Structures are given as C-alpha cells and as structure tokens.
Amino acid sequence: MKRAIFIKYRMIRYYYTEMTWLSVEGGAFYKPLFFEFPNEAGAYENQELNVMLGSALKLGIQSKATNVNTTDFYFPTGLWCDVFNNIDPAENCIYSSGETHTKSSLAYEFYLHLRGGYIVPLQDAEYYSVKTTHDLKKCDVDLHILPLCDFGKCNATGRYLNDDGISVDVTGKQNIYTLNYVGLQFGVLTLTVTMD
C-alpha cells in the first residue's frame, strides 16, 4: 500500500499536466492502445491488460485473472522503457515491431513504460519521503526523457504545467512549459524549455 501511494505521488505532475491540457484541448487520458495505434491489430486485443495514460505512458497490468504468474503484454511499434521497476538495464527497454512480451504478473506487479520520443515530468516521492501532496510541491521535478533516434538525429517532446494548486482563477498564474529535446546521436544533446 505504501508503494502504491508513493507511485501515485510520483505521477501527480504528469497527471496534472495532461488532465489540464485535455480539459482545454479535449481527448482522453485513460485510453485503449488502439486510440494511439489504430493501424496495429494487436492494439485491439486484451484491452484490459494494456492502457495508455496520455500519449507518453503505457500501463501493463494483469486485471482479469488472479491465478496467473505471467502475462503476455502487447507493445506497439516503437521504443518502450520501464519507468518504475529496477531491473537489469538490458531488459529495461523494449524495441518492438508490434508484438507481445511475456512478463511476470503477480497481483502486486504492473509495468509502466515510457514511449520513445516523449518527455514526462515525474517526482520521486519515496526519495523525498513526502507524506502529502503539499509536501511534494517543495520537491524537485524530474524530467524523464526517452529520445527517438533516426538517421543520427534524436528527438523527444513533452510539456509540464506547474501552478500553486490552490488558486481557482488560474488565468495568468500557471507556468506552462513546452519541452523539446534534440541533438545528434553520440553527440551534443540540447533540452529546450519554452514558457508558453
């Protein structure tokens, strides 16, 4: 239970940013894979096992059986890196051409994978030992960056919204940042943060 609370706190910045953006632009936050990958047949299967959280994160969780130790999770085409599980770095990332991967799926296990080409704001609530979301506001925000490299050029984009969390009238009181990560593979990489 304690781990679940820390994970919830860790993801608050991403949730808040995406939910605020969607309230203005429209769309869905919790969505089946086929919303993002409509041309992949595997995205239409086992929808309850694979859920997109926004466009950047894929949640894999065994939600329909309690008596299984492993589950085949679908990974759409692209690069996917595990965010929370401390496993062998060689197994941390999957470059998929649209296939399933068998993973352990005990009742307390889940997988959160960052999609290649994206940047997401997260906070390590456990490291800071926070007990409330108010305490979390005083802590640093980490930007998790997973660039996609093609023909030697690497790119990732994201956004981050920060405000005081209290004001009802947020007009002019929010700090909205657009994040762009570009550069050459094996060369200098640059993160550009633009305030909107």
In the block, which residue shows the tokens 């869905």? 28
Task: Give pLDDT tens digits along the chain (196 positions).
Answer: 677 788 888 999 999 999 988 988 999 999 999 999 999 999 999 999 999 999 999 999 998 887 889 999 999 999 999 998 766 656 788 899 999 999 888 877 889 999 999 999 999 888 888 888 888 888 889 999 999 988 878 899 999 988 766 666 666 667 888 999 998 766 667 878 877 6
Cα–Cα nearest to 14, from 124, 130, 109: 124
* Model pLDDT, residue 176: 84
* Model pLDDT, residue 89: 59
* Model pLDDT, residue 143: 92
In the block, which residue shows the tokens 């991967």? 101
Give me 62's structure tokens.
């065994």
pTM, whole model, 2 decimals? 0.88
* Model pLDDT, residue 126: 86
* Model pLDDT, residue 68: 87
What confidence tens digit (pLDDT) does each residue in 83-117 have? 987 666 567 888 999 999 998 888 778 899 999 99
* Model pLDDT, residue 87: 63
* Model pLDDT, residue 32: 95
List, in sequence order, every beta strand (DSSP E) within 10-133. Answer: 30-32, 50-53, 57-60, 70-75, 78-82, 93-96, 99-104, 111-115, 118-122
* Model pLDDT, residue 184: 73
